[in-house]
Amino acid sequence: MSIAIGFPLVTALVALAASWFVPRFARPATAVWALTLAIVLAVLATLTLLLQLSAAGLSEVPVIADVIGWCRVLYGGQHGATPIVGVVSLLALGFIGWRIASHVRRVRSGMRQFSGVTGVEVVDLDRPLAFAVPGSPGGVVISRSMLDELDRDERSVILAHENAHLRYHHHVFVHVAGACSAGLPFLSPFARKVAYLTERWADEFAANRVGSRDLVATTIARVALLPNAIAPLHTQALVSGDVVGRFEALESPPLVSTPRRTIAVGLLVAVALVATGFQVHHLVDFLSHSR
């Protein structure tokens, strides 16, 4: 094993960093897919490298090697990692797994209280509130005070926005990115950007549905200025994310996809995919060689 085993991980992380700029030249839907895939592939590359280091380090312990049947010819550092590196890598894997599992449990627990929501459910709250509840088929929760504050067109914007979250399963992207960032905290900015981009995606859908970008922008701005109630955790509320950025994006002309932009996004994801594939190949090759 050599230092080259880390190159695929570095490449995957570079592709992830480059995908940060995808929203500048790609539509929100494309950016959400690209950034989420880059996050997942970077995590897979990291986990694969840790698995390889764990196996390499622990294989240097004769007792463990005898139990799993690895050959003694490879003893004496031939696996490329010391036992302490193997132990640390194994502990890191356990910590990452525990963090991800804890995040998944919290999300499931938070969603359980809304399992019966379908369609549009109006609730009595003193403060305005609107959010989408994922499920089969899921629904939209909106407060009566929110409805009282808005006119008919603005209500249409809210419903179109929240229905976009349900229609395109935005919660999947948000929760997957959230789970990845729970395991690897340095990914938190990327996970937050995925959540923001799902809001942008829903904004664009609402603009197409009601036929006016200005109406969507002004509705979001107006709702943001209201004394909104705090939405439950792990739900997608209308005023989530950078409201100012969303307003400015809606006031600008929509991005137009071009072949060059599509190819650029595809190359970024392909680089991360190939790098992760090489990382998995290194692990499989090591395990095969050590038998």
Residues 152-179, mean pLDDT to the nearest whole number? 94
Q: Copy the structure tokens of residue 77.
A: 């550092």
Place 110 in a pLDDT band, splitting at 50, 70 and 90: confident
- Report the distance separating Cα 65 and Cα 132, nearest Å: 52
Provide the residue type at 204 as one letter.
E
The residue with greater pLDDT, 13 or 210, is: 210
The whole-number pLDDT of residue 118 equals 79
- For 71-94, b/e burial (b = at least 16 CB within 10 A) is eeebeeeebbbeeebbebbbebbe
Q: Percentage of the chain with pLDDT > 70?
A: 86
For 192, 202, 235, 278, the CA distances from 32, given in Å and listed in that order, are 11, 11, 17, 24
pLDDT value at residue 67: 60
Residue of higher predicted confidence among 105 and 57: 105
pLDDT score of 42 more than 90: no
Q: Token pair for residue 61? A: 């312990």
What pLDDT score was predicted for residue 176?
95
Alpha-carbon distance of 35 to 174, in angstroms, equals: 11
Residue with tokens 């193997």: 86
List the chain domain ranges: 3-112+257-290, 119-251
Residue 286 has pLDDT above 70, yes or no: no
Residues 250, 216 contacting (CB under 8 angstroms): yes
pLDDT in the model for residue 207: 96
Position 254 confidence tier, pLDDT thresholds 50, 70, 90? confident
pLDDT score recorded for residue 183: 94
Q: Give the residue with greater pLDDT, 216 vs 118.
A: 216
The whole-chain average pLDDT of the chain stands at 83
According to the model, what pLDDT value does residue 237 have? 80
Question: Any bridge partners for residue 131, and if so which?
Answer: 141, 237
Q: Let me know: does 129 contact 141? Beta carbons within 8 Å.
A: yes
Please state the rounded mean pLDDT for residues 15-22: 82
Residues 52 and 286 sit within 8 Å (Cβ to Cβ) = yes
Only one residue has tokens 């999300």, namely 107
Work out whether strand 119-123 and strand 139-143 pair parallel, antiparallel, or are unpaired: parallel
Q: Are 57 and 81 in contact (CB under 8 A)?
A: yes
Compare 46 and 240 and report the one with higher pLDDT. Answer: 46
Candidate from 71-80, 136-145, 162-171 with smallest mean pLDDT:
71-80
pLDDT for the residue numbered 151: 93
On whether the CB atoms of residues 290 and 58 are closer than 8 A, the answer is: no
* Beta-sheet strands, E only, within the chain: 119-123, 130-133, 139-143, 236-237
The whole-number pLDDT of residue 69 equals: 59
Mean pLDDT of 254-270: 78
pLDDT in tens, 178-236: 999 999 999 999 999 999 999 999 999 999 999 999 999 999 999 988 887 777 777 78
How wide is the angle at C-alpha 65 spanned by C-alphas 61 and 69, nearest 5°? 175
pLDDT at position 282, please? 64
Closest CA to 173 of 150, 206, 136, 202: 202
The DSSP bridge partners found for residue 130 are: 142
Q: What b/e string do you get for 161-173 counting C-beta neighbours within 10 Å, with b at 16 or more?
A: bbbbbbebebbeb
Predicted pLDDT at 194: 94
Q: Name the residue among 205, 192, 187, 180 with its Cα closest to residue 96.
A: 180
Whether the CB-CB separation of 62 and 75 falls below 8 Å is answered with yes
The confidence score (pLDDT) of residue 269 equals 79
Whole-prediction pTM: 0.85
